[in-house]
Amino acid sequence: MSELPAFPSLLPAGESGEMFHRFCRDLAGRIVPANPVPETADEWPAIRDARRAQLRRAISLSSLEPCPLNPEITLVEEMGDYALERILLQTRPGLIMTAHMYVPRAPVCPAPAVLSVHGHWPLAKSAPPVQARCIALAKLGLFVLCVDAIGAGERAYRGDTYHGKQQGAQALPPGIPLPGLQVWDNMRALDYLCSRPEIDPRLIACTGESGGGNQTVLVSALDDRIAVSVPVVCMGSYRGYVNGAHCACEMVPGLLRMFDSADMLAMIAPRPLLVIAATRDDGAGFQIDDLRARFPKLERVYELLGARDRVARCEVDMPHGYELPMREATYAWIRRWLLGIRADLCPEPALETRESETILCLPHGMPERSETIPSLAYKEARRLALSYPPPPVIPETRASILQRIESEAFGGFPKEFAPEVEEVQTPGGPPDTHGIVVTTEPGIRVPILLRGEASGSACLLWLDPDGKATALASQRARGLQSDSLTLAAADLRGVGETLWQGAAQVGASDYQLFQNGIVLGRPMLGMWVWDALQCIKVLRGRFARVIVAGRREMALVALMAAAFDEEVAEARCEELLAGFAYPERFSGDHALSLFVPNLLKFADVPQIAALVAPRRLTISRPVDGGNNALSGPGLDAAFRYTKEAYGALLAREALTVE
Cα–Cα distance, 90 to 26 (Å, whole number): 43
Alpha helices in 351-447 (DSSP H): 373-385, 394-404
* 559 membership: H or E segment, kind and range: helix 553-564
367 closest CA partner among 55, 606, 623, 155: 155
Tell me: pLDDT of 626 over 90.
Answer: yes
Predicted pLDDT of residue 483: 67
496 closest CA partner among 558, 438, 428, 448: 448
Tell me: pLDDT of 437 over 70.
Answer: yes
CA distances from 466 to 5, 301, 387, 496, 576 (A): 16, 49, 36, 6, 15
Compute the C-alpha angle 243/232/309, nearest 5°. 115
pLDDT band of 2, cuts 50, 70, 90: very low
Averaged over 242-246, what is the pLDDT? 96
Cα–Cα distance, 338 to 137 (Å, whole number): 12
Predicted confidence (pLDDT) per residue in 212-234, tens digit: 999 999 999 999 999 999 999 99
* Alpha-carbon 512 to chain mean position: 11
Query: Sign (positive/negative) of CA torsion 451, 452, 453, 456?
Result: negative
Cα–Cα distance, 159 to 161 (Å, whole number): 6
Predicted confidence (pLDDT) per residue in 276-331, tens digit: 999 999 999 999 999 999 999 999 999 999 999 999 999 999 999 999 999 999 99
Cα–Cα distance, 239 to 290 (Å, whole number): 9
Averaged over 470-478, what is the pLDDT? 78
Predicted pLDDT of residue 479: 66
pLDDT band of 476, cuts 50, 70, 90: confident
Per the CB < 8 A criterion, the answer to whether 592 and 641 are in contact is no
CA distances from 76 to 100, 101, 260 (A): 10, 9, 43
Averaged over 37-62, what is the pLDDT? 97
Cα–Cα distance, 219 to 159 (Å, whole number): 27
165 closest CA partner among 510, 577, 517, 581: 510
Cα–Cα distance, 437 to 451 (Å, whole number): 15
On average, the pLDDT of the chain sits at 95
Tell me: pLDDT of 270 over 50.
Answer: yes
Q: 3-class SS at 311?
A: strand
Dihedral over alpha carbons 131, 134, 139, 143 (to 10 degrees): -140
Contacts of 496 (CB under 8 A, 6+ apart): 447, 464, 466, 467, 468, 469, 470
526 closest CA partner among 440, 610, 456, 454: 440
What percent of the chain stands above pLDDT 90? 89
Mean pLDDT lowest for which of 219-223, 378-382, 503-507? 503-507
Tell me: pLDDT of 14 over 80.
Answer: no
Averaged over 427-435, what is the pLDDT? 82
Averaged over 230-246, what is the pLDDT? 97
Q: 3-class SS at 59?
A: coil
Predicted confidence (pLDDT) per residue in 70-94, tens digit: 999 999 999 999 999 999 999 999 9
For 557, half-sphere exposure in the C-beta direction (CA atoms, 13 angstrom radius) is: 33
Predicted pLDDT of residue 473: 82
Predicted pLDDT of residue 304: 98
pLDDT band of 495, cuts 50, 70, 90: very high
pLDDT band of 474, cuts 50, 70, 90: confident
pLDDT band of 1, cuts 50, 70, 90: very low
Per the CB < 8 A criterion, the answer to whether 556 and 585 are in contact is no
Compute the C-alpha angle 153/155/160, nearest 5°. 70
Q: Read off the amino acid at residue 318.
A: M
pLDDT band of 63, cuts 50, 70, 90: confident
DSSP 319-346: -SS--HHHHHHHHHHHHHHHT----S--
> How far is the first Cα of the chain from the last one, in angstroms, to the nearest whole number?
29
Q: 3-class SS at 303?
A: helix
Cα–Cα distance, 202 to 194 (Å, whole number): 9
Please report the domains of the chain, with CATH numbers, ordered by start residue: 19-24+387-657 (3.40.50.1820), 71-365 (3.40.50.1820)
Predicted pLDDT of residue 423: 93
Cα–Cα distance, 506 to 331 (Å, whole number): 33
What percent of the chain stands above pLDDT 70? 98
Tell me: pLDDT of 17 over 90.
Answer: no
18 closest CA partner among 447, 446, 501, 526: 501
Predicted pLDDT of residue 161: 82
Predicted confidence (pLDDT) per residue in 251-260, tens digit: 999 999 999 9
Tell me: pLDDT of 448 over 50.
Answer: yes
Tell me: pLDDT of 605 over 90.
Answer: yes
Ramachandran angles phi, psi of 256, nearest 5°: -75, -10
